[in-house]
Structure 1
Amino acid sequence: MMTVGPPRLVDCEDVAWFRDQPEAARGAAAALVPRIGLGDQRTAELVLAVAELTTNITKHAVDGSLLLRVLRNQTVAGVEVVAVDGGPGMADVPAALRDGMSTVGTLGIGLGAVQRLADTFDIHSQPGSGTVQLARFWPRPPHPSVTGEAAVGGITRPIGGEQVCGDAWAARTDTGERATRPESDGTTRPVESGTAPHDWSTLTGTRPPSERARKDSKRTDAFVRPGARGRSVPVHAAVAGPGDGLLVMSCDGLGHGPMAALAARAAVQAFRTGAARTPEQAMEQVHRALRGTRGAAVAVARLEPDGRLLFCGVGNITAALVTATTRTTLLSHPGIAGHQMHQLRTYEHRLPAHGILVMHSDGLSERWTAADLAGLLHHPPAVIATGLLRHAGTRRDDASAVIAKAAW
């Protein structure tokens, strides 16, 4: 059954990763107060939770680290803490959350107390593989807009030795009311849902989809959907539905360091502020925004309330539809957004029941399977993304993963 209104989304702004730095993590958590106005009591509770998580990582985890980041929606800002390690894992998570189960030598408040202090707490642990923990702290009382789980979540991690990451992800909803067209008197008029503006080139810098379809009638493979036995069957256009579509982007700025991060930020800005309704239109807008930068590999997907998924990718972003038992890889094409993009192709798929969309950069190996994520699928998207990063991250490059679930 469809929910009323667009899917819930929260923007994330990474602050810093910490490894074997409990004091630095606590100090950074406390320093967030002036930025978001969390309040003295919530700040103290946040710092206490960060102290417990970092102390546990330092004393007992293998290759553990903690990420602090700011969460924002249109109304309120909060803090998210993500703790991840490579082992030893917990055989009995419910027992670990009971009071009195804090490991000897920690602060003694226990994970159960962290769970109670946080507005949202989630944990996934597997013996021999490690643990992912997520805790969110919002001002009290929590605003209604932060209840429930966001439909999209992701994570980024810079290559060792860098403070900024050249990978990025972003998501936004499309109600069909974002696009406007300029009028002769200098004002703008909204473009109705499902229609193209009269002067499409003013909005997107390209010909309208219908015009391109007529002009390029011999290139009918521009938009394809999977047919029988996995073959691609051409269709006339990739059409955005009339409802609240969910657009998701994954971006990998070329190389790493500040210049790659600059390209990634430009891609995110263009994606978030653009009026594009389809992945191809979004790719065209991002392509223009990245001119003059290093460029990037970019992939954009649109999830529809009716279960359709439209996908367009350029460069080495890995994308897949995943269930507990299957993984279907989505096709991207060679190129560099901002530099060289050949004919764009949008592919139409269906998001499987209880499935997810996964997109990640080449900072993660492609050698993961559906079984590697099967135990994570019922967790929030940010926890799934972190679990995938732990499993497939290579540390030889910036890394990012973004997960989208059906929100209807």
Structure 2
Amino acid sequence: MASLPEGLLEGGVWFRVEDAGTASAVRRAAERLATELAMPERRVADLSIVAAEAAGNLVKHAVQGTVLVRAVRTTQQAGVELVSIDSGPGIADVARALGDGHSTAGTLGIGLGAILRQASHWDMYSLPGHGTVLAVQVWPDDPPEAAWASGLTRPITGEAVSGDAYAIREADGRRQLLVCDGLGHGGLAAAASQEAVRVFRHVPAGSPAAMVEALHRKLGHTRGAALAVAELDPAAGLVRYAGLGNIAGTLFLPDGTRRGMVSMPGIAGHQRRQVREYDYPLPPGTTVLMHSDGVVDRWSPVGYPGLLARSPEVIAGVVLRDAGTRRDDAGVLVARLP
């Protein structure tokens, strides 16, 4: 078996899909990842169809089409996820496009239908004139419940790895999120963020302020990072939030208003004046968005009808496409509880 592209097992690999050759590269990468994860042959074959159709659609219809291929895991099993993002014409009638036989490129029109038949989970958002984001997961057996939080990271143009990272965990009844932006770019920035993710996943669960303090102590041997931790407590109707540096946190409330969350100045691992934790209301249906400074803070869901009802990974894909900058690493994390 050919060796996996660097990073495919860890955080995934982005492909710019412009022709049939790069579309084939997406399919081969997905197949290799599925084989490495010991998925059964029948599901590898299903995934191959999904990858070929998703990437092929970008070649036929899209503008600036990209696909992320990455592993997704639970404690019981591992699967493969593809996130396809484009800035093409979009789809005016999604329901019609999902049916076999509909085509705008003179083909058989079975692409989306084939994808959905093989997928364990899928979600899509398309807006005419803006493009389409499609997220598809293929699991080896019965799929887990859809995730309540998901994110995307992308490296600055010219770098192979991103200095931004995120993590999601449920421990001791706490649902917690981390977004981290390693200082600078490239391998050393990525090392700082990955160390933050490792610590976040393994230290005993505590309040967001306690988690930020623990991360600050553990990152002293790295170049440091901006980071923030949020804890969603639906029983109390609260988000608890603490951060150091320029990680942005925003709540999009069901009534259409938005509320920013506060991080303190500093660099985790190096400079810290104080860590403060703030509480914010979390009514049912609130969407929590956290991102690095590689995503402009002016993004708003206004003009994206129905987007905040989509899955976290699809929301993250739209934000990354429309608000992410290519002049910096970019990271987006989205969470939403019922």
Instruction: Normalising by structure 2, report the TM-score.
Output: 0.92
Cα distance in 2 for partners of 1:107, 1:361 equals 42
In structure 2, relative to structure 1, the CA distance for the partners of 1:128 and 1:104 (3 Å cut) is closer
Kindly indicate whether residue 323 of structure 2 is the aligned counterpart of residue 395 of structure 1: no
Where does structure 1 lack aligned partners over 5 or more consecutive residues? 1-11, 176-243
Tell me which amino acid in the other structure corresponds to 2:38: G
After superposition, the C-alpha distances for 1:63-118 in whole angstroms (9 at most, x for unaligned) are 11000010011100000010011121000000110011144365753201101110
Match of 2:257 among 321, 326, 343: 326
* Conserved 8 A contact 2:208-2:241: yes
Map 1:79-228 → 2, pairs under 5 A: 79-104=80-105, 109-140=110-141, 142=142, 146-175=143-172
**Could you say what the CA RMSD is over the residues aligned between the two structures, in angstroms?**
1.6
* Conserved 8 A contact 2:264-2:274: no
2:229 alignment counterpart: 300
Tell me which amino acid in the other structure corresponds to 1:128: G
In structure 2, relative to structure 1, the CA distance for the partners of 1:107 and 1:253 (3 Å cut) is farther
After superposition, the C-alpha distances for 1:33-56 in whole angstroms (9 at most, x for unaligned) are 332111111111111111111111
User: Could you say what secondary structure the match of 1:354 adopts?
Assistant: coil
* Conserved 8 A contact 1:102-1:111: no
Match of 1:277 among 206, 218, 221: 206
* Conserved 8 A contact 2:125-2:307: yes
Cα distance in 2 for partners of 1:105, 1:339 equals 58
Map 1:317-396 → 2, pairs under 5 A: 317-323=247-253, 325-372=256-303, 375-396=306-327
User: Could you say what secondary structure the match of 1:14 adopts?
Assistant: coil
* Conserved 8 A contact 1:321-1:352: no
**Greater mean deviation of Cα atoms: 320-329 or 151-160:** 320-329
**Greater mean deviation of Cα atoms: 157-166 or 369-378:** 369-378
Cα distance in 2 for partners of 1:81, 1:107 equals 23
1:252 alignment counterpart: 181
Cα distance in 1 for partners of 2:301, 2:23 equals 34
Cα distance in 1 for partners of 2:50, 2:40 equals 15
Kindly indicate whether residue 241 of structure 2 is the aligned counterpart of residue 311 of structure 1: yes
- The count of aligned residue pairs is 324
In structure 2, relative to structure 1, the CA distance for the partners of 1:104 and 1:372 (3 Å cut) is closer
Instruction: Normalising by structure 1, report the TM-score.
Output: 0.77
After superposition, the C-alpha distances for 1:270-308 in whole angstroms (9 at most, x for unaligned) are 000011320011101111221121111000011113211
Where does structure 2 lack aligned partners over 5 or more consecutive residues? 1-8
1:183 alignment counterpart: none
Cα distance in 1 for partners of 2:45, 2:301 equals 40
User: Could you say what secondary structure the match of 1:170 adopts?
Assistant: strand
Cα distance in 1 for partners of 2:260, 2:311 equals 22
* Conserved 8 A contact 2:301-2:308: no
Kindly indicate whether residue 265 of structure 2 is the aligned counterpart of residue 264 of structure 1: no
**Percentage identity across paired residues of the two chains:** 46
User: Could you say what secondary structure the match of 1:371 adopts?
Assistant: coil
Cα distance in 2 for partners of 1:33, 1:293 equals 33
Cα distance in 2 for partners of 1:110, 1:55 equals 8
Cα distance in 1 for partners of 2:35, 2:55 equals 22
Mark the structure with the bigger radius of gyration. Answer: 1
**Greater mean deviation of Cα atoms: 305-314 or 90-99:** 305-314
1:37 alignment counterpart: 38
Map 1:12-51 → 2, pairs under 5 A: 13-20=10-17, 21-51=22-52
* Conserved 8 A contact 2:57-2:111: no
Deviation for aligned residue 1:321: 0.5
Tell me which amino acid in the other structure corresponds to 1:315: G
1:78 alignment counterpart: 79
Deviation for aligned residue 1:373: 5.4
Cα distance in 1 for partners of 2:41, 2:120 equals 16
* Conserved 8 A contact 2:151-2:313: yes
Kindly indicate whether residue 67 of structure 2 is the aligned counterpart of residue 66 of structure 1: yes
Cα distance in 1 for partners of 2:260, 2:304 equals 15
